Structure formats: C-alpha cells, structure tokens
C-alpha cells in the first residue's frame, strides 16, 4: 500500500460493488435500494493542512430542520472525536509536528460539499499548540478525562450535543472506557456556535447489576417533530443508545418532549411494553449494531436504522421499522466497504446517516476507517478519514 494508490484501488473496488434490491419490513412490493459512492463528500474531508483526519463524524443542522434537501437553507455543524492536526506531504505522509487531539468541530456554510465553505475548529493551548475543542469540566469529571462526541440536535432555539466522558481503560488495543455522559449546550445564533457552551453531567450512563452490559444514551437523536419537518411527526424527540453486551451492541431508546429535552426527570425509556421513567428497565430493540449509528424517518413514514454490522465489520447495514421503536425488519447489508481489503490492519466502523445533507429521494451515509497499526496513520494519511455513500430509494 503506497500513498494515493490506496485511494485508487478503493475506487476500483467501489466500481465493482453490487447494487441491492430487497424487501423492506412491512412492504409487499420491494423497493430498490441502489447504493453508490458519494465521492464529493469524501473530498470535503481530504485536506492536507490543519485538520487532516478524524473519526466519529456527526452532523447537526443549525436550523433544527432534518428533512432531506434542507441543508441549503442552513449551516451545518460537524463534530469529530480523535483528530489529527498538522500537514500532509505530497507523498501522502503526515509531516513532523502533527498532533492528535481528542475532539474537533467544523462549520459548513453550504448545503453542498464545497471545500471553500467549511472551517475546521479546534482549540489551542497557552503555547499555541492544537488542543481539544471540548474538555470535561463538570462535577463528575476527573483529571485526564476527555470527551468522545456523540450526536447532537438543534431543538427549541438551542443546540444540544451529547459527549461520552472517557478515561483510560485496562490495556489492550482499545485502551479506553466510558465513565459518564455529559450534555453540552450552545446557541445557534452565536457567530461561532461552538465557541461558548455549558456542560452538565447526565444520568444517561447506567451500569446494570444483573449481568447486562453498560447502557449508554446519546449515540443517535431523531427529532420526530413538526419543527424538524419530520414526515409523520408525533411531537417527541427520540434519543437512542446501546447496551454494550459482550458479543453484541444492542439498540435502546428513550423519548422526551422538545421543551423538556434537558430535564432528565421527564425522559421516558422503552422497557419493551411501555415508556418508563427508569433507565434500568430499558429493553433492547435490535442487536448487532455499532457504537455510533443513526435513526431517520423515511418519506413514507417508516424509519431506517443505519449502522455498521457487528460493530467492526466490512458491512454498512440497515433495518427498517414501522415506528421509531420498531418492530424492525431483517438486517440488510447494503454496502461492502472496500478499505479492509487493502490491508489486514484496516477496519471500518460507525456507519450513520445524515438526513438533512441528503438529496430528496436519497440518504447520505458515512462510515469511519481506521487501522490497528498506529504508525500507518503517519505513513498513509488517507486511511483515517470518513467515507460516504448514498442510498437511492425507489418507494
């Protein structure tokens, strides 16, 4: 694998990727799920100076409108987690002076992936070196903690962003652990919407005592409201998370009225039969999902769950449900990610949709690419950047 040959081979593999025609849940006539690469969005995050790669990409429309084709009417915030800041040489290698920070952001002032309309954002320390955009500063935070950014939404004139508070783990390839979930709040009217914020601890990280895995909320938000221009609004904001069981991450759900979004006493959690005020009663809705994912309304009133099959795999997958909590149809593997075929250390993960950035009749989806060989991040800067595909749905 050498420099830009990585991308050239990826293009070849994409060109031979199949299209899929499948029967979605609850529909007698099968729609056509046509999937293709959205290379123009790849290019938006293919910079060679400053922000040069990250994982954990989420997008938030400042207007709060999540409808397909609405991005032209607003600006979009992107948030990322572990990020490389520095320069990339003409040979595709990261140059001396490159550093890694825990999280960054970006502001896109366009509805299209125009490189001259996006500004990447991070902080600087007292020495002028790149630093994380957000650092835990709540009563529960401990020295050395950092934020892994989750989903966010613009609701009722405020921007909300969930962030997992992280600490070092017990060793191994993934040496980190979740220690809590915080809620960050911003004003969408600020000249720099990410510059000033408040942060509070939440009760959205729960450790069961009955053998279930840890329960973490904030991985996906779906405002099913008139404000968000949802196709079939019921007035609630749905917040999704995962139950981190040993061999399968499992989908869990909560909901709240928009006016009570930051009042956690008003949240209700789906227990398999009803909406309960007790997070400990949550019941899984689906399995084999990823740590990051999305739930989005479809134009016909159904809902699509987008995720990476089995957390770390070569497949982007979907399941379609008749309500925001299902029941969901079968797992449909819509895309075979070509990147892992390039090197045995490369893996793909955390697929999710970006509805408001999607054209009418389509759904834009991103997934992340990483490598188990840390030094390959410096030899091949192209690895650690989000990739995009789009579904074209014929209903």
pLDDT tops 50 at residue 319 = yes
Higher-confidence residue of 24 and 334: namely: 334
pLDDT tops 50 at residue 305 = yes
Domains recognised in the chain with CATH numbers: 5-394 (2.115.10.20)
389: how many CB neighbours lie within 10 A of its CB?
23
Residue with tokens 């006016």: 259
CA proximity to 267, closest of 238, 287, 295, 247: 238
CA proximity to 94, closest of 391, 382, 379, 394: 379
Q: What is the pLDDT of residue 172?
A: 63
pLDDT tops 60 at residue 356 = yes
Strand-pair category, 99-101 with 176-186: unpaired
What span, in angstroms and rounded, lies between the C-alpha atoms of 391 and 393? 6
Kindly state the average pLDDT of the residues 93-100.
Answer: 98
Q: What is the pLDDT of residue 176?
A: 80
Q: What is the pLDDT of residues 172-187, one digit of tens each?
A: 656 689 999 999 999 9
Sheet with strand 49-54: strands edge to edge: 49-54, 83-87, 99-101
pLDDT tops 50 at residue 189 = yes
Cβ atoms 337, 310 nearer than 8 A: no
Q: What is the pLDDT of residue 28?
A: 37
Q: Tell the burial category of 110 from Cβ atoms under 10 Å away from its Cβ (0-12, 13-18, 19+).
A: middle
381 token code pair? 């800067």
CA proximity to 369, closest of 4, 3, 6: 6
CA proximity to 338, closest of 5, 15, 53, 54: 15
Q: What is the pLDDT of residue 157?
A: 95
Q: What is the pLDDT of residues 226-267, one digit of tens each?
A: 999 999 999 999 999 999 998 899 999 999 999 999 999 999
What is 293-328 written as a DSSP string? Answer: -EEEE-TTS-EEEEEETTSBSSEEEEEEESSTT--B
28: how many CB neighbours lie within 10 A of its CB?
5
What percent of the chain lies above the pLDDT cut of 90? 86
CA proximity to 355, closest of 293, 296, 309, 312: 296
What span, in angstroms and rounded, lies between the C-alpha atoms of 388 and 351? 9
């Amino acid at each position: 694998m050498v420099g830009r040959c990585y991308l050239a081979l990826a293009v070849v593999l994409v060109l031979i990727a199949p299209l899929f025609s499948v029967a979605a849940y609850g529909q007698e006539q099968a729609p056509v799920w046509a999937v293709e690469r959205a290379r123009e969005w790849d290019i938006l995050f293919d910079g060679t100076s400053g922000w040069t790669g990250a994982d954990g990409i989420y997008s938030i429309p400042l207007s709060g409108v999540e409808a397909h084709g609405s991005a032209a009417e607003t600006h979009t915030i992107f948030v990322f987690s572990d990020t490389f800041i520095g320069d990339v040489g003409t040979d595709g290698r990261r140059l001396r002076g490159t550093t890694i920070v825990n999280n960054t952001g970006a502001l896109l002032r366009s509805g299209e992936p125009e490189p001259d309309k996006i500004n990447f954002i991070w902080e600087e320390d007292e020495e002028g070196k790149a630093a994380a955009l957000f650092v835990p500063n709540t009563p529960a935070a401990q020295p050395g903690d950092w934020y892994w950014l989750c989903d966010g939404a613009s609701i009722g004139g405020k921007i909300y962003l969930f962030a997992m508070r992280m600490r070092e783990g017990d060793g191994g390839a993934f040496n980190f652990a979740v220690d809590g979930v915080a809620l960050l709040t911003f004003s969408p009217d600020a000249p720099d919407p990410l510059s000033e914020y408040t942060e509070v601890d939440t009760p959205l990280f729960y450790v069961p005592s009955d053998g279930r895995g840890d329960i973490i909320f904030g991985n996906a938000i779906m405002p099913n409201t008139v404000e968000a221009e949802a196709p079939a609004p019921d007035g609630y904001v749905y917040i999704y998370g995962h139950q981190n069981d040993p061999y399968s991450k499992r989908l869990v759900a909560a909901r709240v009225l928009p006016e009570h979004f930051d009042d956690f006493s008003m949240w209700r959690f789906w227990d398999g039969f009803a909406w309960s005020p007790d997070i400990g009663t949550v019941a899984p809705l689906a399995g084999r999902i990823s740590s990051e994912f999305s739930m989005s309304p479809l134009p016909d009133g159904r809902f699509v769950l987008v995720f990476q099959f089995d957390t770390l795999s070569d497949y982007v997958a979907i399941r379609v449900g008749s309500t925001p909590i299902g029941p969901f149809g079968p797992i449909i593997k819509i895309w075979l990610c070509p990147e892992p075929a390039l090197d045995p250390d490369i893996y793909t993960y955390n697929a999710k949709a970006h509805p408001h950035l999607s054209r009418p009749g389509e759904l834009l989806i991103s997934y992340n690419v990483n490598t188990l060989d840390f030094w390959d991040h410096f030899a091949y800067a192209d690895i650690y950047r989000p990739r995009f595909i789009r579904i074209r749905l014929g209903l």
